[in-house]
Amino acid sequence: MGFPPGGGADGVARIVTAKMSQNIGQPILVENRPGASSMIAAQYVASAPADGYTVFGAENGALVYNAALYSKLNYDPAKDFAPVTIMIRAPLVLVVNPAFPANDL
C-alpha cells in the first residue's frame, strides 16, 4: 500500500486480503510503504520479481495523476503494471458550508 496504516485505503486492503487469504489458503501480508504520492510503493512493486507474490493496491494517483504531475517517475504506469480487478469504487462529493447559497457547481 502506498498509504500509512489505519487509513481508508489500508482498511480496504486488509479486508480484501483477508478474504483472498481464505480463498487461497495462504497468509497475505499488507505492507505499507507510504509517501511521495504512492510513488515509493509503486516503484517497489514495479521492481519486484514478476512472480505474483507482490501486488500493488494502486489508486488513480499512482497510475494516472503522477504521470501528469511529475516529469520523471521511477516506474512506468502503463508498462510496469497489469490490471487485475477493481477493488473499490469510492465516489467523491463536493460540499460547502450550509450557510453558503450554492445551488449548482
User: What length is written for the chain?
Assistant: 105
Q: Locate the domains of the chain by residue range.
A: 1-105
Query: What is the per-residue pLDDT across 12-67, written as a single tens digit (0 to 9) for each?
Result: 999 999 999 999 999 999 999 999 999 999 999 999 999 989 999 988 889 999 99
Class of domain 1-105: alpha beta
Tell me the three cell numbers of residue 94: 463536493
Q: Please state the pTM of the whole predicted model.
A: 0.81
Instruction: Give the pLDDT confidence score for residue 92 in this predicted structure.
Output: 83
- Asked whether the predicted pLDDT for residue 105 surpasses 90, the reply is no
In degrees and rounded to multiples of 5, residue 92 shows phi and psi of -110, 145
